[in-house]
C-alpha cells in the first residue's frame, strides 16, 4: 500500500522539518500541497518536486489520489481540516499542539472513532535518538528511582512581539489557543508523558508581565505523573538574551539527567560513579522518524508512539495551567 500525502499549509515548518520526509520514507510520497496564496503553493510544489498544488483546502482533501493529509496550518484550523479530511476518508497527521483547546481535541477524536480514520499528531521528540536514550536510561534505572522533573524554558522576546502590526500568530490566543507556552511547552509535556505516563494532577499560574501582547508571557506549574514522579516548570518568553535557558532535569535516587528540549546540546548523565555527556545527531528532516512510524501504522506494519489520545492529554494539561489567566481575561 502506497501512502499518497497532501499537505495543507505548506509554510516554513514544512520546508525542512517535515515536508521532504514524506518522499524519503518508503511506501510514501507527497503528491499535492495547498496554501491559500496560489503563487506560494506553486513555488513550493516546484521547489520540492510535488506534482500538484492547490489554493483551496477542500480541493486537496477531495483529491481521489490522496489517502492521507498532513495539516501544517496554525492551530485554529487543525480541528476544521482534520475533521473534513477524516469525513472524506483520509487519514490525518496534524501539527502540534493538536488543536486550540481540549474541547476541539475531543471532537477530533470523536470523528476519528466514528469514521475509523486514523489521527496522529506531530510530537516527533518521541522518536528522536537523544530523547529515546533518556527514556532508556530512566527505564534502566541508571539514576535510580525517578523522583522529580524540572522544566526551565526562558526565551528572549522577539522584537516583532512588541509591535501589534507585526506580531506572529503564536501570541494570538484566538489562533494559537494561548501564547508561546502552547507552542513550546506542548513538546515538553508530551515527551514527559511518553517517559513517565499521563499527568494525573496539575495546576499553574500564568500572567502577562511585559505587556507586549495579550497572551500570557510567564508561566509556572506543578504536576504529578501516574508513575508518582513530581514535576515543576517555569517558562518566560520575554527575558533578555543573556537569561535564555532550555533545560529539562530529571532527578533520581542515584543521580540526575539534564538535557535541552529545543537547543542543541548534550544529554548529561550524573550518576553515583561518573558524569557522562552523550551527543546525538538528529535527522536533517527532524520529523522523519515519526513520519516513518505513521506510514508504517497506516500500512498495518507497526504502532505509532504519538497518538490522538496522548496528544489530547497534553492539550488538557496546557489548558489547566493557563486557565486562570484566560478566565480573568
Note the pLDDT tens digit of each residue in 283-298: 999 999 999 999 999 9
Domains defined along the chain, listed by start? 3-124+287-306 (3.40.50.720), 129-281 (3.30.360.10)
User: What pLDDT, in 10s, does the model give residues 135-183?
Assistant: 999 999 999 999 999 999 999 988 777 666 667 899 999 999 999 999 9
The DSSP secondary-structure symbol of 266 reads P
pLDDT at position 272, please? 80
Could you tell me which residues are beta bridge partners of residue 234? Answer: 152, 220
* Mean pLDDT, residues 89-110: 98
* Average pLDDT score over residue span 9-33: 97
The per-residue pLDDT for 77 is 98
Confidence (pLDDT) at 84? 98
Q: How far is CA 228 from CA 160, 198, 251, 311, 318, in A?
A: 41, 10, 13, 20, 19
C-alpha to C-alpha distance for 271 and 288, rounded to whole angstroms? 32
- The x, y and z cell numbers of residue 32, run together, are 499535492
Q: Name the region of 26 (left: φ>0; alpha: ψ -120 to 50; beta: rest).
A: beta
Residue 207, helix vs strand vs coil: strand
Beta bridge partners of 223: 202, 231
Q: How far is CA 18 from CA 23, 67, 292, 298, in A?
A: 10, 18, 11, 17
- Please tell me the predicted confidence (pLDDT) of residue 230: 98
Residue in this structure with the C-alpha cell 533545560, named with its chain if needed: 247
- Triad 177, 168, 242: Cα angle to 5°: 100
**Burial bucket for residue 211 (CB in 10 Å: 0-12, 13-18, 19+):** exposed
pLDDT for 56-72, tens place per residue? 999 999 999 999 999 99
- 55-to-20, 23, 52, 88 alpha-carbon distances in Å: 20, 21, 11, 18
The predicted pLDDT at position 165 comes to 65
What average pLDDT does the chain have?
96
Concatenating the DSSP letter of every residue in 52-98 gives: EEESSHHHHHT-TT--EEEE-S-GGGHHHHHHHHHHTT-EEEEPSSS
By DSSP bridging, strand 267-271 and strand 230-239 are unpaired
Integer Cα distance of 190 and 174 in angstroms: 22
Give me 311's grid cell: 496528544
* Grid cell in block for residue 308: 490522538
Give the pLDDT confidence score for residue 287 in this predicted structure: 98
Q: What is the H or E stretch that residue 153 is in?
A: strand 146-156
pLDDT in the model for residue 146 = 98
User: What is the rounded distance in angstroms from the CA atom of residue 329 to the CA atom of residue 325?
Assistant: 6
pTM: 0.96
Q: What pLDDT is attached to residue 52?
A: 98
CB 209 within 8 A of CB 217: yes
Q: Are 212 and 170 in contact (CB under 8 A)?
A: no
Model confidence over 214-245: pLDDT tens digits? 999 999 999 999 999 999 999 999 999 999 99
Asked if residues 32 and 50 have their Cβ atoms less than 8 Å apart, the reply is: yes
User: Residue 167 has what pLDDT?
Assistant: 79
The answer to whether 82 and 61 are in contact (CB under 8 A) is no
Helix segments in the chain, DSSP class H? 12-13, 21-24, 38-48, 57-61, 78-87, 102-115, 129-139, 173-176, 180-196, 288-298, 308-328
Amino acid at each position: 500500500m502506497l501512502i499518497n500525502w497532501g499537505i495543507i499549509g505548506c509554510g516554513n515548518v514544512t520546508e525542512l522539518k517535515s515536508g521532504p520526509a514524506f518522499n524519503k520514507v518508503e511506501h510514501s510520497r507527497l503528491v499535492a500541497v495547498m496554501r491559500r496564496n496560489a503563487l506560494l503553493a506553486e513555488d513550493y510544489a516546484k521547489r520540492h518536486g510535488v506534482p500538484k498544488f492547490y489554493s483551496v483546502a477542500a480541493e486537496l482533501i477531495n483529491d481521489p489520489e490522496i489517502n492521507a493529509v498532513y495539516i501544517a496550518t496554525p492551530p485554529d484550523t487543525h480541528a476544521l481540516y482534520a475533521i473534513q479530511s477524516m469525513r472524506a476518508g483520509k487519514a490525518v497527521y496534524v501539527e502540534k499542539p493538536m488543536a486550540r483547546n481540549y474541547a476541539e481535541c475531543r471532537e477530533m477524536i470523536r470523528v476519528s472513532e466514528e469514521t475509523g480514520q486514523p489521527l496522529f499528531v506531530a510530537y516527533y521528540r518521541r522518536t528522536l535518538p537523544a530523547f529515546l536514550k533518556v527514556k532508556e536510561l530512566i527505564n534502566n534505572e541508571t539514576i535510580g528511582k525517578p523522583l522529580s522533573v524540572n522544566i526551565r524554558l526562558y526565551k528572549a522576546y522577539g522584537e516583532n512581539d512588541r509591535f501589534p502590526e507585526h506580531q506572529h500568530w503564536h501570541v494570538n490566543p484566538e489562533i494559537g489557543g494561548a501564547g508561546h507556552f502552547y507552542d513550546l511547552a506542548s513538546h515538553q509535556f508530551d515527551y514527559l508523558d511518553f517517559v513517565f505516563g499521563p499527568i494525573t494532577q496539575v495546576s499553574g499560574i500564568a500572567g502577562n508581565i511585559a505587556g507586549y501582547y495579550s497572551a500570557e508571557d510567564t508561566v509556572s506549574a506543578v504536576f504529578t505523573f501516574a508513575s508518582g514522579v513530581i514535576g515543576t516548570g517555569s517558562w518566560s518568553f520575554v527575558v533578555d538574551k543573556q537569561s535564555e535557558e532550555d533545560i529539562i532535569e530529571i532527578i533520581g535516587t542515584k543521580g540526575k539527567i539534564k538535557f535541552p528540549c529545543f537547543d542543541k546540546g548534550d544529554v548529561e548523565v550524573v550518576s553515583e560513579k561518573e558524569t557522562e555527556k552523550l551527543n546525538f545527531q538528529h535527522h536533517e528532516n527532524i520529523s522523519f522518524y515519526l513520519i516513518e512510524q505513521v506510514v508504517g501504522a497506516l500500512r498495518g506494519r507497526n504502532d505509532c508512539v504519538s497518538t490522538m489520545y496522548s496528544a489530547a492529554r497534553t492539550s488538557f494539561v496546557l489548558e489547566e495551567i493557563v486557565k486562570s489567566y484566560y478566565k480573568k481575561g
